[in-house]
Amino acid sequence: MEMMEKSTGLPELFGSMVFGEKIMKERLSKATFKAWKTCVTSGSELPLAAANEIAEAMKQWAIGKGATHYTHWFQPMTGSTAEKHDSFIEPVGDGTVVMEFSGKELVKGEPDASSFPSGGLRATFEARGYTAWDPTSFAFVKDGTLYIPTVFCAYSGQALDKKTPLLKSMDAVSRESIRILRLFGDTETKRVTAQCGPEQEYFLIDKGLYQKREDLKLTGRTLFGNKPPRGQELEDHYFGQLKPRVAAFMKDLDAELWKVGVLSKTKHNEVAPSQHEMAPIYSDANQAADQNQLTMEMMKVVADRHGFHCLLHEKPFAGVNGSGKHDNWSLGTDTGKNLFNPGSTPDQNAQFLLFLAAFIKGVDDYQEALRVTVASAGNDHRLGAQEAPPAIISIFLGDELDRVVQSIIGGQEFHGEGRKTLKIGIDMLPPIPQDNTDRNRTSPMAFTGNKFEFRMLGSSQSISGPNIALNTMMAEELSQFADRLEAAADFNAELEKLLKEVFTEHQRIVFNGNGYDASWIEEAEKRGLANLTTTADALPSYISEKNIALYTKHGIYTEEELVARYNIHVETYNAQIAIEAHTMDDIIRRQILPAVSAYAAELCRRMGDLTAAKVPVVYETKTCEKLAILTDALLDATEKLEEHLIAVPAQAEEAMRYYHEVIIADMAAARSAADQLESITDEKYWPFPVYSDLLFSE
Ligand code: ADP
Ligand code: MG
């Protein structure tokens, strides 16, 4: 029998719902296509005539894909995405309609955006903001709607979203990188692009079980629950075989992502039971940010279709690994070169070392700026725990690259040929292999061959903030280097001096040891590295003088924008802890205490029956006593929590400290009593599914 090889149809499927470059080339006039291309490569404005033609072509194409509506899709400072759908229909006066969509509607929309957080930037009387198409990210069709990626600004011109500053930071790092490239004789490169590939972790749990947990529904994480008798000890889940229902979900997810142009590439099981990961092929940081948002949304939707609920929270389960996001970041030229590739000639090596030096200096100079971009109530459960990078920022270079750096500093030979130090621009670097050691995996910022992997991101957060920080700190350091090197009489001599200086002065930020080791915290303190353990500790650095100077110098944020964002972060933190605390209180009062009381009553009744029958009641008595003690403790803790919740200070920053210092401790006490009760209560009485149900439901 002959088997016909069935086509996967993947090349046809991929990007089939995207109004991408190829479609634009086919459907636009040469002049308009060129206008768009110029706008993308040089950042110039799109002329209205071109916008009109693009709008018409986009509309025709989208209608062909079944779209009836369009939306300006944007990323407000909530960290998620927002959309408002308008239909294409336009009445023509005789009772019929036509499908209309003009250039003006493409480049500018006006959502009534009064409910998006503005951090005080926008007075309510001028509550509207406007959105403008970001021509560097492609429009796509999803669920009958044309999605137009847009920036979102207040009428005063201040950015109210995460895309605007990201685009500005990409321009800044491109500008400063090119100054450096010119010094190395590169006359061709016109644009340097920050590129990134975010690896996304998530949990899948059964939808029916999820529905029974008020904490998961309201806060995204479990506020109660004992570690199951079996957790991740066997590590048999990591890269293990996919269960059929999970495999079906992943297949469906890939297909959906491919349609809208997301280069979903790898998928595998993670360390914890029910935990998984998806990684796309990297793209420019702007598209990567859009697509990661899209990926997270799609995960939720597709999970639902498969009877799952997708948890993106950083720590859904206590005692079980949490979820993060790895932001793989590098810089690439429009001529196809990766600037973090060590290279194959001494000259390329020298250039690589300069970009490396800028990165090392940048991370050291702006530790706090980087740390604060990953601060959130959810991520506080991960960073510094023994499963995720510590809250201290450091860089892992790997043994080979570290040896090179040390040789420049002046100590050791860089390879075994008897030479003392590396002659920049003359000697070849030894090969720098990709480091995949366990040590590497404990680092918050690891060099992995030709890119850096920033591992502190929370699984649910937007990757924009961290990339804005990376791009901007790089722009700053490169501009300092360029100032100095452009003025140098002898470029090579100055370069060698600069590298030696930078590597020497910023040695403290390089750490190649085990980041999970307790001794590292002490060592880091000796080195004077920042250790901002929680969000409440980290957030103030958002508006430190140094942070404001960095971002305003490069035109990424105004001071007002930074203050506004800081306010939003503080308010978000407060709101999240408040919701968790109230949810906890509600579950204890309405579910746990009544259940435990009912069980105690049942035990008492049994004790009566058994005693009458002259049967010993040791188990019943002991359990009843324990239940009584723990119930008292739980009630006490709950009353204390309730009292404290009434006394939350009105001022936002004071409230943040108070939530951090008082409320979180109250919640821990209540949880401890509740979890002990769970361990002795008849499962028939326990009001919701426990960890082993949730994590081993397959
Ligand atoms: P792992 O981290 O599991 O070893 P890889 O190194 O293959 O996996 O890649 C992880 C992610 O890094 C992927 O999203 C990949 O596309 C991305 N990536 C690879 N090279 C680069 C680069 N030069 N710049 C940015 N991201 C990159
Ligand atoms: Mg990785």
Question: Cα of 199 to ligand 1 centre, how many Å?
Answer: 8
**DSSP β-ladder status, 69-73 and 145-154:** parallel
In CATH terms, 572-695 corresponds, of 3.40.50.300, 3.90.550.10, 3.30.300.30, 1.20.120.1560, to: 1.20.120.1560
Who wins on pLDDT, 438 or 588? 588
In CATH terms, 169-557 corresponds, of 3.40.50.1370, 3.40.50.12140, 3.40.50.80, 3.30.590.10, to: 3.30.590.10
* Residues 6+ positions from 449 with CB-CB distance below 8 Å: 432, 433, 434, 435
* Choice among 108-122, 253-267, 527-541 with the minimum mean pLDDT: 108-122
Question: Cα of 500 to ligand 1 centre, how many Å?
Answer: 29
Nearest ligand 1 atom to the CA of 436 is 4
Give the pLDDT confidence score for residue 235 in this predicted structure.
61
pTM: predicted TM-score of the whole model, two decimal places: 0.94
* Residues 6+ positions from 647 with CB-CB distance below 8 Å: none
Nearest ligand 1 atom to the CA of 329 is 25
Residue with tokens 């599914």: 689
Residue whose CB lies within 8 A of the most ligand 1 atoms, among 268, 281, 282, for a mutation test: 282
Question: Cα of 267 to ligand 1 centre, how many Å?
Answer: 13
- Which helix (H) or strand (E) covers residue 325, if one does? strand 324-333
Atom 24 in ligand 1: which residue has the minimum CA distance?
A: 330
Give the pLDDT confidence score for residue 113 in this predicted structure.
59
Residue with tokens 């049994």: 606
- Exposed, middle or buried: residue 411 (CB in 10 Å: 0-12, 13-18, 19+)? exposed
* Choice among 53-62, 419-428, 520-529, 619-628 with the minimum mean pLDDT: 419-428
**Domain locations along the chain:** 13-161, 169-557, 572-695
545-553 helix and 464-486 helix, angle to the nearest 10 degrees: 70
| C-beta separation of 161 from 151 below 8 A | yes
Q: For residue range 166-181, list pLDDT tens digits in order.
A: 999 999 999 999 999 9
451 lines ligand 1 (CB under 6 A): yes
331 lines ligand 1 (CB under 6 A): no
Looking at all shown ligands, the one closest to residue 338's CA atom is: 1
Give the pLDDT confidence score for residue 152 in this predicted structure.
81
Instruction: Kindly state the DSSP code that residue 487 receives in the 8-state scheme.
Output: T
Per-residue pLDDT, averaged over 621-630, amounts to: 97
Residue whose CB lies within 8 A of the most ligand 1 atoms, among 451, 457, 467, for a mutation test: 451
CA distance 592 to 605: 20
| C-beta separation of 203 from 272 below 8 A | yes
200 lines ligand 1 (CB under 6 A): no
Residue 43 has which token pair? 């950042």
Instruction: Kindly state the DSSP code that residue 663 receives in the 8-state scheme.
Output: I
197 lines ligand 1 (CB under 6 A): yes
User: pLDDT category, 600, cuts 50, 70, 90?
Assistant: very high
CA distance 162 to 119: 14
Q: Compute the Cα dihedral for 603, 604, 608, 614 and give only its sign.
A: positive
| C-beta separation of 142 from 101 below 8 A | no
Examine the pLDDT at 55 and tell me if it is beyond 80.
yes
- Exposed, middle or buried: residue 244 (CB in 10 Å: 0-12, 13-18, 19+)? exposed
330 lines ligand 1 (CB under 6 A): yes
Question: Cα of 464 to ligand 2 centre, how many Å?
Answer: 18
CA distance 22 to 315: 41
Nearest ligand 1 atom to the CA of 279 is 14
Per-residue pLDDT, averaged over 231-239, amounts to: 64
Atom 14 in ligand 1: which residue has the minimum CA distance?
A: 197
| Phi, psi (degrees; rounded to nearest 5) at 201 | -100, 150
Query: What percentage of residues in the chain have a pLDDT greater than 90?
Result: 72
470 lines ligand 1 (CB under 6 A): no
Residue 397 has which token pair? 């270079």
In this structure, the number of other CB atoms found within 10 A of the CB of residue 436 comes to 11
Looking at all shown ligands, the one closest to residue 454's CA atom is: 2
For the chain, the C-alpha Rg in angstroms (whole number) is 28
Three-state DSSP class for 445? strand
Atom 19 in ligand 1: which residue has the minimum CA distance?
A: 282
Looking at all shown ligands, the one closest to residue 328's CA atom is: 1
Atom 13 in ligand 1: which residue has the minimum CA distance?
A: 197
341 lines ligand 1 (CB under 6 A): no
- Which helix (H) or strand (E) covers residue 362, if one does? helix 346-365
Per-residue pLDDT, averaged over 283-292, amounts to: 96
Question: Cα of 355 to ligand 2 centre, how many Å?
Answer: 21
Q: Compute the Cα dihedral for 372, 376, 378, 384 and give only its sign.
A: positive
Who wins on pLDDT, 154 or 430? 430
Give the pLDDT confidence score for residue 124 in this predicted structure.
44
* Choice among 192-201, 426-435, 549-558 with the minimum mean pLDDT: 426-435
Looking at all shown ligands, the one closest to residue 332's CA atom is: 1
Residue whose CB lies within 8 A of the most ligand 1 atoms, among 328, 337, 474, for a mutation test: 328
Does the domain spanning 13-161 belong to CATH 1.10.150.390? no
How much is the mean pLDDT over the chain?
A: 90
* Choice among 262-276, 540-554, 571-585, 627-641 with the minimum mean pLDDT: 262-276
338 lines ligand 1 (CB under 6 A): yes
In this structure, the number of other CB atoms found within 10 A of the CB of residue 563 comes to 17
279 lines ligand 1 (CB under 6 A): yes
Count of positions (residues) in the chain:
698
CA distance 617 to 628: 16
13-161 and 169-557 share one fold = no
Who wins on pLDDT, 28 or 130? 28
Who wins on pLDDT, 263 or 237? 263
Atom 6 in ligand 1: which residue has the minimum CA distance?
A: 448
Give the pLDDT confidence score for residue 33 in this predicted structure.
95
Nearest ligand 1 atom to the CA of 282 is 16
Q: For residue range 244-254, list pLDDT tens digits in order.
A: 899 999 999 99
Q: Is 336 left (phi over 0), alpha (psi -120 to 50) or beta?
A: left
Q: For residue range 443-485, list pLDDT tens digits in order.
A: 999 999 999 999 999 999 999 999 999 999 999 999 999 999 9
Q: For residue range 268-284, list pLDDT tens digits in order.
A: 887 788 999 999 999 99
CA distance 7 to 10: 8
Query: What percentage of residues in the chain have a pLDDT greater than 70?
Result: 93
Q: Is 385 left (phi over 0), alpha (psi -120 to 50) or beta?
A: beta
448 lines ligand 1 (CB under 6 A): yes
Q: For residue range 389-418, list pLDDT tens digits in order.
A: 889 999 999 988 998 999 899 866 666 555
User: pLDDT category, 125, cuts 50, 70, 90?
Assistant: very low
282 lines ligand 1 (CB under 6 A): yes
- Which helix (H) or strand (E) covers residue 310, if one does? strand 308-311
452 lines ligand 1 (CB under 6 A): no
Question: Cα of 389 to ligand 2 centre, how many Å?
Answer: 13
Question: Cα of 326 to ligand 2 centre, how many Å?
Answer: 6
